[in-house]
Structure 1
Amino acid sequence: MTATERAARTEEADRLCRSAFSSAGGDGMPGVALVAVGGYGRGELAPHSDLDVVLVHDAAADVGKLAQQLWYPLWDARVDLDHSVRALPEVTEAAAADVRVALGLLDARHLAGDTSVSLRLRTDVRARWRRDARANLPRLRDLVRERAARVGELAHAALPDLKESTGGLRDATVLNALVATWLVDVPQADLERCRLQLLDIRDVLQAHAGRATDRVTPELWGALAEGLGLADEHEAQQRLRELGRRTTHLSRVTWSRVEQLLAPRPRGATSRRPQLERVADGVALSGGEVVLDRGADPAQDAVLLLRAAAVAAERRLMLAPPTAARLARSSAPLPDPWPAEARDLLVRLLASGRGLLPVWETLDETGALDAVLPEWQRIRLLPHASAVHRFTVDRHVVESCVEASRLIRRVARPDLLLVAALLHDVGKGGRQDHSVAGEPVAAAVATRMGFAPADVATVAGLVRRHLLLAETATTRDLDDPVTVETVVRLVPDLETLDLLEVLTEADARATSPQAWTSWRETLVRRLAARARAALLAAPGERGHEQEPALPAVLPEGDGACVETEPREDGCRVRVTAADRVGLMADVAGTLALLRAGVRAARAWTVDGVAVSDWETDGGHLDPAVVAERLGAVVRGSADPARRVRVGSGGLPPTVLVRHGASDDATVLEVRTEDTHGVVFLACRALAAMDLSVRSAHVTTIGPQAVDVFYVQEPGAGGLTDERAASAAHAVRQALERASTLDA
């Protein structure tokens, strides 16, 4: 798909519109014109674009009959049409009142009729746009910001939208509208190159999808690669995201300059020429941007680039792209190891919060980042394999630094935290576990930066273990001594534990809201607190927490006492009943019937009485309803197996025995597509083998659920290897049968 094909589509659409105008009797009518606006006005029709047209007329012209007849031939031709009829004064007034209307009309193009009407329309709209620019631009800026918050960035979004995403076709249109104000300029050749290539990609996308769409879903990357003549899906993603990043950068730079134009001039200012204000050695401010001071010599000052970047980020200002590009070309190379000033400036840059993002983007776009962190190319615009991530790997890393900057007062070494946040995903992109692959890379970078050997080991260890707390907290029993001992064995001291806890939070917050719910936060906090207590305790003094007291009135027979407690994002359910094999399966089945997703469960016995705590998602559960439904399940009048659902459209479930994960139980790890009903099916299969489930822990990694069960022989502890293998097989069979039935 090329500009030539878009021109052919536009020419064919023009022919249809002119023919319809002529057939309706429009030829020769004075004061009436048919005008194309928006993308059609720009001649950018995609394979499934609609035609956006306006019948414009002088106020005195009678267009009633023409307006009634004009659209029928186009509808008969099965054209997707967005049409309106407006008097010329109405059109120009609408453009003055609504910047969205003005954006479409700035690209108005004559199709048929009185050319003087089209000329007056275009002239009036553009003249008003320039005249009212200082009033219109804040409105346009607000629209751009709202769209950015709603849709995300083309360069980094998991499901990029070619039109609406920041850095997409809509932003290219806005940039051209900013140029039309005559207040600012944009590198036109660069913008046009990006815009035309994005149009090519949209053409391929719509041709393959067979409909009007601008959103690239995962299954379409292969078709895009083939249609664009690229090697594979990865190359297609790189192409699209490079274009989005470049357009985003042009947009941010331009809007930064618009902000300076709109800012009130200081009282007493007489000259519009930007003045240099020295703010650091070799660094100055000019027109709201960070530039080089007079006499600054990058060839003699190796840390000048980092100094300029840190100043810009801390002051939330734009690092002037020409300045960054010059520094990239002519800066003296940083010595190996870095001097202390360079290391401190990098930490200041990473600690600057939201000011980091545009500055880092400028460093990346101008090539200046290669002088500071050549390893960045490993993850630049790299998509995440997991759907839970909302950004590409490189943007996620920057967002992790932003999140970490908000938490630095919780750690004794903010510098190590921020550098670890910058490097924690540097191992992604290969076949090896990224934590393992990233550890030696992080060690090499930290060494080059001049950190002491002990600090290098800490940074490398944080990168190697940055998933430890989150994965352990959500998939292991926190009351099992082995769980805490596992963490303590891998985390050498309290300072590292503090750093790891904060890095875990920053990483999760930067991933997505679903990655740091209040439930996950509570689990990580509990695990970190217990590991901290274990590190502080003398050997042999680590013990269990005291179990909560039993209810004052204990249930009789097969009855159960049910208590519920609402949580911010779910509900805690406590069930107390006479101890028996299969009780966990009955409670899990009851919750499945109530459509309550189980996130974690823990059980213990006190003098023959079984108590189980369940963390569920969704809304609050009425204890009376839970008790009534549990009674029905126990009596057999309600069968949860008829209502549960597990995934059936992908890979089969796997069940693994995790040897050594507990001293007094056998740990089964279940991986499957869907969480609903899995806990019930597993517990029921284990109960059929006369096995008890001490606890269950549910988490989701992208589209995959990971459920972990601590299983015991009643009153005897862990299973033999043979029994463990049989239990794993029984759970797998139960899930496979349910999956087959669901299909």
Structure 2
Amino acid sequence: MIAQRIPGQRAIIDRRALAGTIAEHVEADGAAKARPAIVTALRDALEKGREELTRRLEEKPSAGHEITAGYAFLIDQLVRTIHDHVVADVYPSANRSSGERLTIVAVGGYGRAEMAPHSDVDIAFLTPTRNTPWCEQVIEAMLYYLWDLALKVGHSSRSIDDMVRMARGDLSIRTALLEGRYVWGDEALYDEASQRFADDVVKGTERQFVAEKLEERNARHKRMGDSRYVVEPNVKDGKGGLRDLQTLYWIGKYIHKVRTAAELVDVGLFTTNEYRSFRRAEGFMLAVRCHLHTITGRAEDRLTFDLQRQVASRMNFADRPGKSAVERFMQFYFLQAKRVGSLTGVFLAHIDEQFAKSRTRKGLLASFRPKPRMLKGYRVFGGSIAAPGDDWFRQDPVRLIEIFQLAEANGLEVHPETMRQAARDAGYIKHEVRDDPRANALFLELLTGRNDPETVLRWMNEAEVFGRFVPDFGRVNAQMQFDMYHHYTVDEHTIRAIGLLSRIEKGLLDDDHPRATHLIHEVASRRCAYVAALLHDIAKGRGGDHSILGAEVAEELCPRFGLDDSETALVAWLVRQHLLMSRIAFKRDLTDPKTIEDFVTEVQSLERLRHLAILTAIDIRAVGPGTWNSWKGQLLGELYDAAEERLRLGHMKHGREQRVAAKKAAVSELLGDKKGFLRLYGDRFDDAYWIAEPEDIIAINIVHYTAAHEVKDNLSIHCEVDRARGATLVTVIAADHPGLFYRIAGGIHLAGANIIDARIHTTRTGWAVDNFIVQDIHGRPFSEPDQLQRIKRSIGDALANRIELVPQLAKRPLPHSRAKAFDVRPIVTFDNQASGRFTVIEVNARDRAALLNRLARALFECSLVVQSAHITHYGERAADTFYVTDLTGGKVTAPGKLKAIEEALLEAASDERQAELEGA
């Protein structure tokens, strides 16, 4: 009985007192007239019980088992009270027949006595035969009382025969009944139903049940992201969550008929320590789920960013140097999820072995048992590698590294019992093992393995061997990054990056990463690429610049791994500068020679450039699904090509005049039979335009400009899907006037598009030719005809003042609905060294509706001319970079002017300004 686990039961609900109150109402007014008063008494008891359990959760915020059992106890007592009242007062029957019997069974989470505050109440009403009128009346009356209490009731009403028949054909019904728990009513009937379920449903279907539950689990994982390290996990259904623990219990109960999770130890599926881990993980996750329900007032199981802070606070996690309370809470959560994964692997392997032993073999080979082969002292059997004895790792802890290296090199799985031993003995990895040259050589072989280093490193991490051997990696184990950009914990991100590098080297990602696929075979040291992938985020969460701190870690670890001095220097540089290439490519004007010159000055060698290009690609892609796209690939490719040319030749291939002439020749080729347009109008565009724009976009602009000029169109808007860039080109040709840029940007935002790049030009005859690269909110091109038409119409309305931009833009939904969960303080920086001609202004702020429009308007009001804009998003953060001049075409250098610009941009980007606009 669950009541035995719950202290202070009467403080939750006093069933005797409640029954007495109901009896008084019935005696005074009769059952029918007393019903409203009875409902009120039941509701009061429910609310007081909930208040008491909420108070207990605040006092003991990690007491998941006690609180969830308390909610089940509360519902039990209400159900019993309602049953007794209905049977005694509403439908009394002095001489019931054998068919007029009823038992009430709690099923599902209610049956497990694991109820969060807003969990469904799943009840099965069982009768001996098809419902008699009396049974139907009692069930209906009970349900009406439960509905009046606003409980979400999932119910079924079946005879025992119906129960058996339906359970045989439906996995979900079978699983729910598997957790059936007697609540009230005819106990003998419950015992009969339990026996029939065991004999007629379970018996002989054990293998089928396990196969179906695992298939169901895999489908659920795929639906939820297929990683236990997604940064907004579903506590109930996500990988490593409560449902995975419940699946273990269901399988154990189905096969071994255990009644509690503790009995999984008795049947040999868990060790005592593993069971304690099971209970710890389960208790913590149940507590988290209770907090989620309490905070939201509903059945919320997803640990979203906006809730993570609140749950962390309620569970008494505090800030520590370099790591916030929410990051510490989530790290603890992911450590529990990781443990669930380890337990699942061991558990299922035991089940598989038990099934294998029970299989009967027939025919001539019935007595044949293949012998395991030996591999360096290990047993290899059935595709698995296993330690030959229980003290194998204790005798020589270097073997804890060796077994994983052998598994990767030979395409083997590590036997689950050996995984269990490795996890148990991981503590034997101490300084002497970490400094052992053989151990480090084995680790480097594993890291750079040719088969599947990602999977084996993940096993190594699950067994806690990885973090013991590389303690710096252990520090980022299960560590989340509290932002909307990173989808995975740091360790999972790192292991995925290594896996991506391995797949690129095999040529499996050539379509998405042709450059990296080519470069990985040109680098002088492939192991530098793998070690850099391992160490690039190794110092996150230490309270400083993780790139600089990580380079220091690399300088210590690389010699230990066996890298020579030049390799160590290269890896340390790559870790220190692993964000350099993406920062330049996404935030700077790649047509500005100064951008390339500064980048090359830092890179210095082709070997560094090749490695940096590879590391940048895998780092971005390993962030999460959809983070890498062809537009980012295009920008990184442009930067690589320009830097490679500069490094290879020692100088820029052409001066300004030669570059313009070469560009015009290339455009002429692209125009084909329309090259006459270039002779007519090409001279109207100055050299800055020819240097800034790619040949293909210039060709489109020339044709568009010609058409607009010939029809004397004062406003011409052209939209063209650019598949190569993964975006849509929007070109606006109009008579130039102040404020044109921010109005066009506003119109594009109103159409639902995101601007990711913009170049603003004015011809020698005073016409603006502005090119915008846009995508939808999912990072894909705007491609449907109605979408393109909407952009044209919206820009036209904005430029003609047919709409009020500011209030309309303020009404648009945020790009990320949960962005307000993050504290992003806007920052404005100025750089007068990054460009020879322009002042570069970078604004980092919380992403919000039409941020670019507001910043562009602020720049216009500060009398600045925007020449180009480069827009980057990192989840909830936006980084908008502007190349500007003053009205005379010069850089902005006066301190007072810079201060005024900064204040205007900070106001435009502030939360207060957003609130004012929304209020308007």
TM-score by length of 1: 0.89
Do the aligned residues in 2 keep the contact of 1:338 with 1:448 (CA within 8 Å)?
Answer: no
Q: Deviations over 1:251-287 (max 9, x none)?
A: 1333345566778999976469885332x32333245
Cα pair distance change 1:182/1:277, threshold 3 Å? farther
Quick one: which amino acid aligns to residue 116 of structure 2? A
Do the aligned residues in 2 keep the contact of 1:534 with 1:542 (CA within 8 Å)?
Answer: no
Cα pair distance change 1:175/1:559, threshold 3 Å? same
Alignment of 1:188-337 (within 5 A): 188-221=275-308, 223-225=310-312, 227-228=314-315, 230-231=317-318, 233=325, 234-258=327-351, 270=366, 275-278=371-374, 280-286=375-381, 288-293=383-388, 298=393, 303-313=398-408, 315=411, 317-319=413-415, 320-325=418-423, 328=426, 333-335=433-435, 337=437
Q: What is the rounded CA distance, in whole Å, between the counterparts of 1:121 and 1:272 in structure 2?
A: 43
Q: Is 2:526 aligned against 1:414?
A: yes
- Quick check: 698-707 or 131-140, which moved more? 131-140
Give the structure 1 partner of residue 85 of structure 2. 23
Alignment of 1:452-463 (within 5 A): 452-463=564-575
Shift of residue 95, structure 1, vs aligned partner: 2.2
Q: Deviations over 1:82-130 (max 9, x none)?
A: 2110121222232222222222111111122332332233233344335
Do the aligned residues in 2 keep the contact of 1:153 with 1:167 (CA within 8 Å)?
Answer: no
Give the structure 2 partner of residue 400 of structure 1. 497
Quick one: which amino acid aligns to residue 719 of structure 2? T
Q: Is 2:536 aligned against 1:474?
A: no
Q: What is the rounded CA distance, in whole Å, between the counterparts of 1:660 and 1:578 in structure 2?
A: 32
Give the structure 2 partner of residue 742 of structure 1. 918
Q: What is the rounded CA distance, in whole Å, between the counterparts of 2:290 and 2:370 in structure 1?
A: 43
Shift of residue 13, structure 1, vs aligned partner: 2.2
Cα pair distance change 1:485/1:102, threshold 3 Å? farther
Give the structure 2 partner of residue 497 of structure 1. 609
Shift of residue 711, structure 1, vs aligned partner: 0.6
Shift of residue 382, structure 1, vs aligned partner: 1.4
Q: Is 2:294 aligned against 1:143?
A: no
Cα pair distance change 1:274/1:186, threshold 3 Å? farther
Cα pair distance change 1:277/1:158, threshold 3 Å? same
Q: What is the rounded CA distance, in whole Å, between the counterparts of 2:295 and 2:801 in structure 1?
A: 53
Q: Is 2:538 aligned against 1:383?
A: no
Shift of residue 151, structure 1, vs aligned partner: 2.2
Q: What is the rounded CA distance, in whole Å, between the counterparts of 2:354 and 2:772 in structure 1?
A: 58
Quick one: which amino acid aligns to residue 401 of structure 2? L
Do the aligned residues in 1 keep the contact of 2:102 with 2:185 (CA within 8 Å)?
Answer: yes
Q: What is the rounded CA distance, in whole Å, between the counterparts of 1:522 and 1:53 in structure 2?
A: 58
Q: What is the rounded CA distance, in whole Å, between the counterparts of 2:707 and 2:289 in structure 1?
A: 66
Do the aligned residues in 2 keep the contact of 1:336 with 1:449 (CA within 8 Å)?
Answer: no
Q: What is the rounded CA distance, in whole Å, between the counterparts of 1:415 and 1:131 in structure 2?
A: 53
Q: What is the rounded CA distance, in whole Å, between the counterparts of 1:417 and 1:617 in structure 2?
A: 32
Cα pair distance change 1:307/1:402, threshold 3 Å? same
Matched residue SS, 1:515: coil
Cα pair distance change 1:560/1:738, threshold 3 Å? farther
State the percentage of identical aligned residues.
Answer: 26
Matched residue SS, 1:112: strand
Q: Deviations over 1:494-517 (max 9, x none)?
A: 222222222222112221224212
Cα pair distance change 1:558/1:57, threshold 3 Å? same
Shift of residue 146, structure 1, vs aligned partner: 1.6
Q: Is 2:541 aligned against 1:429?
A: yes
Do the aligned residues in 2 keep the contact of 1:20 with 1:73 (CA within 8 Å)?
Answer: yes
Alignment of 1:75-90 (within 5 A): 75-90=147-162
Matched residue SS, 1:719: coil
Q: Deviations over 1:188-225 (max 9, x none)?
A: 44323432333233334434444333233344445545
Give the structure 1 partner of residue 50 of structure 2. none
Give the structure 2 partner of residue 541 of structure 1. 653
Q: Is 2:167 aligned against 1:95?
A: yes
Do the aligned residues in 2 keep the contact of 1:439 with 1:463 (CA within 8 Å)?
Answer: yes
Quick one: which amino acid aligns to residue 107 of structure 1? E
Do the aligned residues in 2 keep the contact of 1:656 with 1:670 (CA within 8 Å)?
Answer: yes
Give the structure 1 partner of residue 702 of structure 2. 551
Shift of residue 612, structure 1, vs aligned partner: 2.6
Do the aligned residues in 1 keep the contact of 2:832 with 2:891 (CA within 8 Å)?
Answer: no
Q: Deviations over 1:136-160 (max 9, x none)?
A: 3222112111211222478523222
Structure with a larger share of its residues in helix = 2
Quick one: which amino acid aligns to residue 419 of structure 2? P
Correspondent of 1:132 among 205, 212, 225: 205
Q: What is the rounded CA distance, in whole Å, between the counterparts of 2:414 and 2:203 in structure 1?
A: 25
Do the aligned residues in 2 keep the contact of 1:24 with 1:66 (CA within 8 Å)?
Answer: yes
Structure 1: runs of 5 or more not aligned: none
Q: Deviations over 1:159-206 (max 9, x none)?
A: 222211122221111101221243782444432343233323333443
Q: What is the rounded CA distance, in whole Å, between the counterparts of 2:289 and 2:114 in structure 1?
A: 10
Correspondent of 2:269 among 185, 191, 195: 185
Q: What is the rounded CA distance, in whole Å, between the counterparts of 2:898 and 2:761 in structure 1?
A: 21
Quick one: which amino acid aligns to residue 150 of structure 1? R
Correspondent of 1:14 among 76, 80, 87: 76
Shift of residue 454, structure 1, vs aligned partner: 0.7
Do the aligned residues in 1 keep the contact of 2:467 with 2:477 (CA within 8 Å)?
Answer: no
Q: What is the rounded CA distance, in whole Å, between the counterparts of 1:24 and 1:469 in structure 2?
A: 73
Give the structure 1 partner of residue 748 of structure 2. 591
Do the aligned residues in 2 keep the contact of 1:419 with 1:459 (CA within 8 Å)?
Answer: yes
- Quick check: 324-333 or 65-74, which moved more? 324-333
Q: What is the rounded CA distance, in whole Å, between the counterparts of 1:201 and 1:226 in structure 2?
A: 11
Matched residue SS, 2:773: strand
Give the structure 2 partner of residue 41 of structure 1. 111
Q: What is the rounded CA distance, in whole Å, between the counterparts of 2:75 and 2:368 in structure 1?
A: 48
Q: Deviations over 1:690-729 (max 9, x none)?
A: 5321110111123121110001246734333355444444
Give the structure 1 partner of residue 555 of structure 2. 443
Do the aligned residues in 2 keep the contact of 1:274 with 1:287 (CA within 8 Å)?
Answer: no
Matched residue SS, 1:166: coil
Q: Is 2:868 aligned against 1:699?
A: no
Larger Cα-atom Rg: 2
Q: Deviations over 1:302-349 (max 9, x none)?
A: 653333113334626245323424663557724455577425423245
Give the structure 2 partner of residue 575 of structure 1. 732
Q: What is the rounded CA distance, in whole Å, between the counterparts of 2:847 and 2:110 in structure 1?
A: 45
Measured on the aligned residues, the alpha-carbon RMSD in Å equals 3.5
- Quick check: 622-631 or 56-65, which moved more? 622-631
Q: What is the rounded CA distance, in whole Å, between the counterparts of 1:693 and 1:625 in structure 2?
A: 25
Q: Deviations over 1:567-596 (max 9, x none)?
A: 455411123455555443343233234332
Matched residue SS, 1:417: helix
Q: Deviations over 1:663-710 (max 9, x none)?
A: 111101122323543333333443445532111011112312111000
Matched residue SS, 2:433: coil
Cα pair distance change 1:626/1:361, threshold 3 Å? closer
Q: Is 2:126 aligned against 1:56?
A: yes
Do the aligned residues in 2 keep the contact of 1:289 with 1:318 (CA within 8 Å)?
Answer: yes
Q: Is 2:845 aligned against 1:672?
A: yes
Matched residue SS, 2:188: helix
Q: Is 2:512 aligned against 1:347?
A: no
TM-score by length of 2: 0.73
- Quick check: 723-732 or 665-674, which moved more? 723-732
Q: What is the rounded CA distance, in whole Å, between the counterparts of 1:732 and 1:4 in structure 2?
A: 49
Alignment of 1:505-524 (within 5 A): 505-524=617-636
Cα pair distance change 1:735/1:111, threshold 3 Å? closer
Give the structure 2 partner of residue 686 of structure 1. 859
Cα pair distance change 1:355/1:316, threshold 3 Å? farther
Q: What is the rounded CA distance, in whole Å, between the counterparts of 1:195 and 1:531 in structure 2?
A: 53
Q: What is the rounded CA distance, in whole Å, between the counterparts of 1:644 and 1:558 in structure 2?
A: 28
Correspondent of 2:137 among 44, 65, 69: 65
Cα pair distance change 1:333/1:213, threshold 3 Å? same
Correspondent of 1:173 among 246, 250, 271: 246
Cα pair distance change 1:231/1:601, threshold 3 Å? closer
